[in-house]
Structure 1
């Protein structure tokens, strides 16, 4: 089901007025997370470490379901909402900027923003009303970077959309920026896809900080 641009604008404004800070995982309570996005999630390898880290942090039952798919854009993401909703997640993590920004996809910035708006609205209005977080992922380089000359613009637009709708925005770029050029080259050898171990080491701590409502139980005991 597609929404008209007018409906999206009205609904987005109404949701923005009513939106609160996204709910996050509470210690001792079970949580189900769904990841939706590109190959950076589909083959990222960070979901299992995230599950383990959150489970340890919160002393909770944590399940992460990966519904991402390689080579997909936010257009495809729109077709997957029913599948995401069927999982009845507590939290949904979304990233599509890296492929929406690929010039061979012919995805305009405005279309990408409209898609992300519709995805967030439909998820937030579903029965389970999950907390939705949009993510900016890792740097790209080489030929894969050359076909994404405006990636930063797409990432920033997705951040704007998320914040306007009261969704969360998790920015992994500062964590990657703390690595040296040599470390990044070794971690992202093909220019776009981090090695799973490196991806987990860099982004999972930030995800745990964002999703653990009151901090880690283990940290409090120290």
Structure 2
């Protein structure tokens, strides 16, 4: 075969040239995208629904008075906390949904963090990555970053839902920060627990218990 007819080596494809760190981070995004979408819909839709229902049902003076009387019940206070600004749709929504959303998003973040760290390690998918150029510290940090970003998306969905429902912007932003921040705390707890315990189930239990 002459030099003129020699076959040139094929150029590496973009997929094969992709950095393994980017591939690992992309896989984490793929694993978490559906759960993030579901949580964003729930966390954004529930407060908006409650705020709209408040206007339709309790916006009058009689409705606010009945809510105030209901909130004095010790059992109700135990479930939802001390009420603030029940005469405002945003205040009522935060009181009614704040605890539920904070617990829901926090627990989801713990489970997501342990899934992307200890769960992937238990499944053996990290062994191949660690045999190459990647290090455990990078995989843990990138997985945690993905969960933190997901909780930020959920917090933004809370704010957007309340704003679309017509509540005060400042309160909507603060409530979104509260829910998203609780999720970030849960993500951190899950990542730490996954490094302390050898099984995903035990790590998830520890993270939820501390949260």
TM-score normalised by structure 2 residue count: 0.26
Give the structure with the larger helix fraction.
2
Bigger Cα Rg: 2
Give the structure with the larger strand fraction.
1
